[in-house]
Amino acid sequence: MIEQLIQKANEQVLEIIQNTQPVITGIGTALDVVPGMTKTTILHAGPPIKWENMSGPLKGAVMGALIYEGLAANAEEAEKLAASGEIKFDPCHHHNAVGPMAGVTSATMPVWILENKSYGNKAYCTLNEGLGKVLRYGAYSSEVIDRLKWMENTLAPVLKEALELHGPIDLKTMLAQAIQMGDEGHNRNKAGTSLLIRELAPFIVKTSFHEDDKAAVLKFMHSNDHFFLNLTMPACKCTLDAAMGVKYSTIVVTQARNGTEFGIRVSGLGERWFTAPCNAVKGLYFPGFTEKDANPDIGDSVITETAGIGGFAMAGAPAIVQFVGGTPKDAVNYTTSMYEITEGENKSYVIPFLNFRGTPTGIDIRKVIETGILPIINTGIAHKEAGVGQVGAGLVHPPQKCYEDALEAFVQEMEKEGVI
């Protein structure tokens, strides 16, 4: 009867994912809104990790955040403080939050506040800093800190007031549209960013801020194709958090990387992480960089694939496969192969090219092990040294060991339950 138990649980998980309604309700300061946040807490991407085990870009981002928070005056001090044990490091995922690349979130950073209208849970994510030298890739120079300050003092307040004027934004509809417009919500967010600007622009104009500030905000959003990424991620996060802890379910509800380890969590196994060393990303490098410069896979953004978009929706975003020298047909094949390891098809996120078929949704650890097909992830590549930034983009798979260990634990759990 075990098969039926699992089947029912997995159907329930999929139903939750389908029914979820993520909306943007506002912008707040991390310390005020993110549960469990303190002035000396630094949240990071991926599964738990100690300072000494952090990779270059994560260390750099932590140092940058400590300087930004005024807890350290310079890099040297920041490094010392980070190693002192006075700073509490914790995964974003333990605080209903997610963060791209290093994912570093500290007390005074502004965050998007999302609410899952169907289930009442919330999710948080910082605002996207743009391309080039940015904190999420481990850069911590003064230009990075200055930008973060501008975001705190101008960008966030303007958007906050615009949101108050607009009212909550239904993200599910916006994301569904973006996916039909060639985004996959992970490595391509051009359409989503544009849709957000269209939605917010009239209200930004109506805010009480100086015209220059309003123009700067619009320009900043426009100059960054990935601005919307920091909304797709928490949208997926609040979707999957609602599906966490369904007994007997073999569906994956978290995948995340901290630049050292890749971790997954399975609905039926609750908060337990199953981790293994991150894989190298296969992809295209920006001129002057090679795979020797690359940091192993990093970031919480794989929450998108976990929810059924990102790499899983590649058939709708064929431009992405060029990162690995592929063809549009390869993009279709990537998506098609993900149906082999997922529980169902997404009702909201559909791909026109596949006859409006829903994206493959709900990774089943059993199917991954049985077929040997690992989830496909679209991702950026960080330089392995702190402060250099993005060096490329490409495709990556989780280490199979995470899935093997999760299956092992799941069987043990079922034994304990006495159902097998």
Q: Strand 390-396 vs strand 88-91: parallel, antiparallel, or unpaired?
A: unpaired
> Rounded to the nearest whole angstrom, what is the least distance from the CB of residue 369 to another protein in the complex?
5
CB 104 within 8 A of CB 30: no
Q: Identify the CA nearest to 224 among candidates 179, 190, 268.
A: 190
**Spatial distance between the Cα atoms of 377 and 408, rounded to a whole number of angstroms:** 24
> Rounded to the nearest whole angstrom, what is the least distance from the CB of residue 8 to another protein in the complex?
13
Site for another protein (CB under 8 A): which residue of 94, 149, 198, 329? Answer: 329
Query: Per rule CB under 8 A, is residue 108 in the interface with another protein?
Result: no
Residue appearing with tokens 């369904």 = 246
Provide the mask over 225-264, with x wherever binding to another protein is found by CB under 8 A and - wherever it is not: -------------------------x--------------
Q: Output 145 or 414, the one with its CB closest to another protein.
A: 414
Q: Strand 342-351 vs strand 357-363: parallel, antiparallel, or unpaired?
A: antiparallel
> Rounded to the nearest whole angstrom, what is the least distance from the CB of residue 199 to another protein in the complex?
36
> Rounded to the nearest whole angstrom, what is the least distance from the CB of residue 399 to another protein in the complex?
9
Site for another protein (CB under 8 A): which residue of 336, 353, 357, 385? Answer: 336
Structure token digits, residue 229? 């990424």
Residue appearing with tokens 């870009």 = 57
Site for another protein (CB under 8 A): which residue of 79, 213, 330, 345? Answer: 330
Query: Per rule CB under 8 A, is residue 340 in the interface with another protein?
Result: yes
**Span 24-53, contacts to another protein by CB under 8 A:** none
Site for another protein (CB under 8 A): which residue of 31, 218, 324, 414? Answer: 414
Q: Output 19 or 400, the one with its CB closest to another protein.
A: 400
Q: Output 105 or 250, the one with its CB closest to another protein.
A: 250
Dihedrals φ, ψ of 226, to 5°?
-95, 10
Query: Per rule CB under 8 A, is residue 8 in the interface with another protein?
Result: no
**Spatial distance between the Cα atoms of 198 and 179, rounded to a whole number of angstroms:** 16
> Rounded to the nearest whole angstrom, what is the least distance from the CB of residue 335 to another protein in the complex?
10
**Span 346-405, contacts to another protein by CB under 8 A:** 366, 369-374, 400, 404
How is the chain split among helix, strand and coil, in percent rounded to 5?
45, 20, 30
CA dist 313 → 188, 261, 280, 291, 340 (Å): 11, 25, 22, 26, 14
Count CA within 13 A, CB hemisphere, residue 219.
Answer: 7
Binding residues vs another protein (CB under 8 A) = 1-4, 6, 250, 326-330, 332-333, 336-337, 340, 366, 369-374, 400, 404, 407-408, 410-411, 414, 420
